Amino acid sequence: MTLKVGAHVSISGSKVSSDPETPPHGNLADAVFRQTQFGGNCGQIFTHSPQVWQDPDVGDEEATQFREGTARDLDGPWVIHTSYLVNLCTPKAGLREKSLDSMQKEVDAAHQLDIPYVNVHLGAHTGAGVEGGLDNAASVIDDIDVPDDVTILIESDAGSGTKLGGDFEHLAAVIDRTTTEIDVCIDTAHAFAAGYDLSSADAVDEAVAEFDDVVGLDHLQCIHLNDSKHECGTNKDEHAHIGEGYIGDEGMERIVNHPALADVPFVLETPTEDGRGFAWNIERVRELRHD
């Protein structure tokens, strides 16, 4: 089994040099360079600021540099994370249309960049109810023209308020209701906050078995590997350094070595604080791995 571990890296900055021997200076192609600097071999990006409605703006040369750099320097895969404004579960027609348009542009960008996955939160039902929200999410997904080489991943949530995705059953329900082939990304901090204990080897084994029973491990294509600053079941989403939160070393060690998870790409969204960032956390994952 090959350890695939990397970080969510920024693409902000100026344009990349056309000289492949010159380190890039901060656009989409720079994500490859930054990933190698952190010691990662796969990863995740936003194609634009996640706080606004904005279309990906990827030029042909930039896309070529990204694809060539990835093939040359990384094992892959990359994941595109959609805007935080996207809400698949919304009952509001205007927000649904904006979310659908944004999703369409993200899957098209993924196709352009040879990125196999687009990751999205289900969002909040805001009064439509759980069943109504799940129906809405499936409806939006089925209205997207997804390229054959791209798969939408629905991400697990911490489960606060009317947000859906905190229960494995929510993920399974959307898979069952959509005619589109979709898969899942589990965020360990979110799952922990939603009440799935991951703080011991036995707890991880139980959670993995439950996921397999409810959703199916064949649908798990990515893991956002994050520790949690808050206790299990608090519904509070705040990430901690690997092994430094309430999941801790034992839980993290079992996650990265569990035979059903060990070959799944691990993408870190850990904080940069206390003098430690992605490089420290990626190295910590490698230390916990038994290969």
270/278 Cα distance (integer angstroms): 7
Token pair of 172, please?
Answer: 């399974």
Closest CA to 26 of 81, 82, 66, 68: 66
89/163 Cα distance (integer angstroms): 8
- Please say whether the dihedral angle defined by the alpha carbons of residues 89, 93, 99 and 101, taken in this order, is positive or negative: positive
How high is the pLDDT of residue 118?
Answer: 98
Residue 223, number of CB atoms within 10 A of its CB? 23
How high is the pLDDT of residue 20?
Answer: 40
How high is the pLDDT of residue 1?
Answer: 65
What type of residue sits at position 247? I
Token pair of 133, please?
Answer: 């929200």
3-class state of residue 233 by DSSP: coil
List the pLDDT tens digit at each of the 291 positions of the chain: 689 999 999 887 534 444 444 444 447 889 999 999 999 999 999 998 898 999 998 899 999 999 999 999 999 899 999 999 999 999 999 999 999 999 999 999 999 999 999 999 999 999 999 999 999 999 999 999 999 999 999 999 999 999 999 999 999 999 999 999 999 999 999 999 999 999 999 999 999 999 999 999 999 999 999 999 999 999 999 999 999 999 999 999 999 999 999 999 999 999 999 999 999 999 999 999 998
How close are the terminal C-alpha atoms of the chain, in Å?
8
Closest CA to 45 of 69, 24, 64, 29: 29
156/216 Cα distance (integer angstroms): 14
Domains annotated for the chain, with CATH where assigned, are 5-288 (3.20.20.150)
Cβ pair 5, 282 in contact under 8 A: yes
pTM for the structure as a whole: 0.94
How high is the pLDDT of residue 21?
Answer: 42
Q: Which residue has the tokens 């600097």?
A: 37
How high is the pLDDT of residue 23?
Answer: 42
Token pair of 185, please?
Answer: 């990304």
Give the strand pairing for 78-81 and 117-121.
parallel
